[in-house]
Amino acid sequence: MNKVIKIAIDGPAAAGKSTVAKKIAQKLNYTYIDTGAMYRALTLKAIQMNTPFDAEVDLVKVLKNLSIKFVQISDQQHIILDGKDVTESIRAPKVTQNVSKVAQHKKVRELMVKRQQELSKTSGVVMDGRDIGTHVLPNAELKIFLVASVDERAERRYREDLSRGFSSNLQDIKAEIIKRDQEDENRTFSPLVKADDAVEINSTHLSIDEVVTKILQLVNQKII
């Protein structure tokens, strides 16, 4: 009988982590945990409550009283924030532009990591984010570091925004991605970095299905 493993997928913004992770989880019948959505949910709540993004103590208070749940509806995972479906609203440009500011705080990340680790206690988990392989699931049996060029990531985010009905500007998105990369890579606590035992996959010239196939091949090596 094949064993069940934990899979950590890390990488910069718009590298395709969430899309790939969802497909991997579906194919393996694993639980998918979108940690980025959790930070986005907190950012959305901070916006709604007019909580400053640099106010770590206030953000922690907001997070402690926050209910974030993942609910599977048909074949799509929905994010429920304090009882409301925010699956689409957490992808709004204002959230995207400010989520790194919220996520950079040490105490916010510590509290969020505890929640993520609790969620990962079930068997068969695919979790994606920025610090999964290095910090949240350091003992994950398979770690992937997914990258792509800035131009390709900007194009993906641009198409995603348009498909969701958000107004969008390609050059602005490219500038935001570069800025977010800098914030994620240079934050003091738990920065974006490739784990020593992670397998790097460059998705710039690969389709989603090609990336999924590569990862499933690596999974098979671990579970057989």
pLDDT at 77 over 90: no
pLDDT at 71 over 80: yes
Please state, in angstroms and rounded to a whole number, the distance separating the CA atoms of residues 160 and 21: 17
Residue 92 Cα distances to 16, 36, 72, angstroms: 17, 14, 21
Q: Read off the pTM.
A: 0.89
Alpha helices in the chain (DSSP H): 17-28, 35-48, 56-64, 93-103, 106-119, 150-163, 170-186, 208-223
The pLDDT score that the predictor gives to residue 177 is 95
Q: What is the pLDDT of residues 94-137, one digit of tens each?
A: 999 999 999 999 999 999 999 999 989 877 999 999 999 999 99
Q: What is the pLDDT of residues 148-174, one digit of tens each?
A: 999 999 999 999 889 988 888 999 999
DSSP state of 198: P
CA end-to-end span of the chain, whole Å? 8
More confident residue, 89 or 189: 89
Residues 6+ away with beta carbon under 8 Å from 1:
none
- pLDDT, the chain, mean: 93
CATH 3.40.50.300 fits 6-205, yes or no: yes
Phi first, then psi, for residue 178 (nearest 5°) are: -60, -45
- Identity of the residue numbered 147: V
